[in-house]
Amino acid sequence: MDQKDIKKLKKYYEQEDIPEQLDWIIEKSLKKKRRKTYWNKILIGAIAAIALFATTVNISPVFAKKIATIPLMNQIVKVLTFSKYEVEEENYKLHVEVPNIKSDSREIQELNKKYNEEGEKLYKEFKKDMDDMKKSEQGNMGIESGYKVVTQTDNLLSLYRYEVNTVGSSSTTRKYDTVDLKQERIITLPSLFVNDTYVNIISENIKEQMKKQVVESKNEKIYWVEGGGIPKQELFDPFKSIHRNQSFYINNHNKLVIVFDKYEVAPGFMGICEFEIPTKTIQSILLNNKYIQ
């Protein structure tokens, strides 16, 4: 490009009109940036406030009790407090979170005591096994244990504690508890029914659900039950019945859900198995419809 071409381009550039709305565009961009910065600050502040709230409730029983008297805050505090056990080494990892349900009820306090004892026992057993494995200079070991709230309404709280053990092949277990928040008492499976006939009625319904799932999945799902995708002659220990105190929870739709651990009623690839029981199936033997509808 010669000098003449450069001068021509310069002249063209200088003659180009500046858009009248340029000032408006610049101001709009600046406002957008300021808004984004503002909301970022709000978000960061909110996250910090939540973290501070959780920490304060966990370390201050007095604060937690006071907060629990405030409408709508009561539910938040119910299971916010927990204890932790941790081991973080190259070949050995343990992470345990223990729930603690806020209540003055002796029954709920006993439940919390059981939670704490189980968490402490898990930690001590892990440390002992870890020391033994270190002496032999071999092996890896990992345990992840915590809890999750699956249902929380004005009346009900359902949560489960889980344990994932990665020694050798992975295994997963869950333990469920359901609490009446107003009466501050534990709800058991037998307490929902007028008699023990629920065991057989629910078991038969679950078998039918298993068979239906196998057909609908075109045998991609498998259960250890006749018609569950495995030839009858290969069923060594078929599912026959739930236990009287089978794991369960009541979901947000007030339906009873029966839960089986991994390997309990199906091959490992099926994982944790859950079955929602139609209320009409158990209506005649329910004690009342206070919890299940």
Do 281 and 201 meet the contact criterion of CB atoms below 8 Å apart? Answer: yes
For residue 256, pLDDT over 60 is answered with yes
**Among 6-15, 121-130, 154-163, 235-244, where is mean pLDDT lowest?**
6-15
More confident call, 20 vs 95: 95
Q: Which residues on neighbouring strands pair with residue 175, listed in sequence order?
A: 161
Return the pLDDT at 48: 47
**What is the spatial distance between Cα 276 and Cα 254, in angstroms, rounded to a whole number?**
10
**What is the spatial distance between Cα 115 and Cα 186, in angstroms, rounded to a whole number?**
14
For residue 42, pLDDT over 80 is answered with no
Per-residue pLDDT band for 102 (boundaries 50, 70, 90) equals: confident
Per-residue pLDDT band for 232 (boundaries 50, 70, 90) equals: low
Do 279 and 292 meet the contact criterion of CB atoms below 8 Å apart? Answer: yes
Long-range contacts, stretch 278-284, CB < 8 angstroms, 24+ apart: 278/205, 279/255, 281/201, 281/202, 281/205, 282/193, 282/198, 282/201, 282/202, 282/256
Average the pLDDT over 123-143 and give the result.
Answer: 87
More confident call, 70 vs 193: 193
pLDDT in tens, 6-19: 444 344 334 444 44
The two three-digit tokens of residue 250, written as one number: 């009541």
Return the pLDDT at 166: 78
For residue 22, pLDDT over 80 is answered with no
Return the pLDDT at 66: 45
Per-residue pLDDT band for 227 (boundaries 50, 70, 90) equals: confident
Do 135 and 226 meet the contact criterion of CB atoms below 8 Å apart? Answer: no
Smallest Cα–Cα separation from 209: which of 109, 277, 136, 110? Answer: 277
Q: What's this model's pTM, rounded to 2 decimal places? A: 0.71
For residue 241, pLDDT over 90 is answered with yes
Return the pLDDT at 280: 98
Return the pLDDT at 233: 53
Average the pLDDT over 271-290 and give the result.
Answer: 97
Smallest Cα–Cα separation from 122: which of 59, 175, 78? Answer: 175
**Among 40-49, 66-75, 152-161, where is mean pLDDT lowest?**
66-75
Amino acid (one-letter) located at 213:
Q
**What is the spatial distance between Cα 208 and Cα 282, in angstroms, rounded to a whole number?**
15
Average the pLDDT over 169-187 and give the result.
Answer: 89
Q: List alpha helices for the chain, DSSP H.
A: 3-15, 22-59, 61-67, 73-77, 106-135, 198-216, 279-282
Nearest-10 Cα torsion for 25, 28, 30, 36? -140
Return the pLDDT at 143: 92
Q: Which residues on neighbouring strands pair with residue 152, listed in sequence order?
A: 157
For residue 261, pLDDT over 60 is answered with yes
pLDDT in tens, 186-201: 999 999 999 999 999 9
**What is the spatial distance between Cα 123 and Cα 121, in angstroms, rounded to a whole number?**
5
Cβ atoms < 10 Å from Cβ of 76: 16
**Among 101-110, 130-139, 230-239, 271-280, where is mean pLDDT lowest?**
230-239
The two three-digit tokens of residue 260, written as one number: 């089986």
For residue 81, pLDDT over 70 is answered with no
